[in-house]
Amino acid sequence: MKKTLLGAGFALTLFLSPFQQAFAAETTGELRKFDNVAHRGASGYAPENTIAAFDKALDMKADYIEIDVQRSKDGKLVIIHDTTVDRTTDGTGRVKDLTFEQLRNLDAGSFKGEQFAGEKIPSFEEVLDRYHGKIGILIEMKAPELYPGIEDEVAQQLKARNLDKPQNNKIIIQSFNFDTVKKMNDLLPKVPMGVLTSSTTHTTDQALKEFATYADYFNPSYGIVTKELVDKVHAHGMKISSWTVRSREAAQFLIDMKVDAIITDYPDYVDPRMGVK
């Protein structure tokens, strides 16, 4: 479902000499067949889930940004990973207990460095409007059990921007909550869905067969990835995206396993051509 560089790369080689083809293969990592997903943005280099991190991912030419969606006390969809603001801001408390204004008044950047002081918690609408059409967006429904009805609200925001259509296939939705993935699949049947897990109990043929009835992606932690698992996921008609890469060794391991996407804090660990500028 998702766009990869393979098709474009193959078309390009039709117009190149044999020498140029060899050079193209070398410089593009043999025409990269996987997507590079910036985890909470390029969060190795900028504060996670902020505009600074998403802009950095765009600058580094990642294929997707991964974002975490929750909801404020007054019903605004916001981008933050933890269910509390304590770790990544100068505030305290649960996301669901703070208004959007209270959340926006927090400093969500200083924890990463003084140069990021004043970064804000973005809204879901802000991220969609700023980045759709420029970079893919992998949307994680974070702890949706805390936010009844959030599935409908996310779907409404995507539909309002025509991001529920197949031609806009750079939107993917994922969650550890499988019931939410099922709901999202019913609400947005043309948008690719992914299930997240770090448990080997979800890697059986029976489990994968069930996931394949409503999900397009099986997205495990890299610690449980094996070549056998990658082959099984593909045999069930799904793609596999693995997380979270924080070392070059982990990136190379997943490349060798032939996964379809690598979710990383450091996009340049997956593709050195991206480099840090």
Which residue range forms the structural domain that includes residue 262? 34-274
Domain co-membership, 27 together with 133: no
In this prediction, the residues of the chain whose per-residue pLDDT falls under 70 are 1-32, 167-169, 275-277
pLDDT digits (tens, 9 = 90+) for 94-132: 999 999 999 999 999 999 999 999 999 999 999 999 999
Domain co-membership, 190 together with 249: yes
Q: Which of 39, 31, 34 is nearest to 3 (CA)?
A: 34
Q: What is the Cα–Cα distance from 216 to 173, expressed in whole angstroms?
A: 10
Collapsing DSSP to helix, strand or coil, 125 comes out as helix
pLDDT digits (tens, 9 = 90+) for 62-76: 999 999 999 999 999
Catalytic-labelled residue, pool 39, 132, 202, 234? 39
212 φ/ψ angles, rounded to the nearest 5 degrees: -65, -15
User: Residue 20 has what pLDDT?
Assistant: 41
Is 202 a known active-site residue?
A: no
Domain co-membership, 123 together with 169: yes
Query: Distance from CA of residue 202 to its chain's centroid?
Result: 20
Domain co-membership, 41 together with 15: no
Domain co-membership, 17 together with 88: no
Pairing of strands 64-71, 77-79: antiparallel
Is 81 a known active-site residue?
A: yes
Backbone torsion region of residue 160, taken as left when φ is above 0, otherwise alpha when ψ lies between -120 and 50, otherwise beta: alpha
Catalytic-labelled residue, pool 81, 202, 234, 236? 81
Domain co-membership, 7 together with 89: no
Domain co-membership, 58 together with 14: no
**137: Cβ contacts below 8 Å, ≥ 6 apart:** 64, 65, 67, 127, 128, 131, 170, 171, 172
DSSP class of residue 221 equals: B
DSSP for 175-196, written as a single string: ES-HHHHHHHHHH-TTS-EEEE
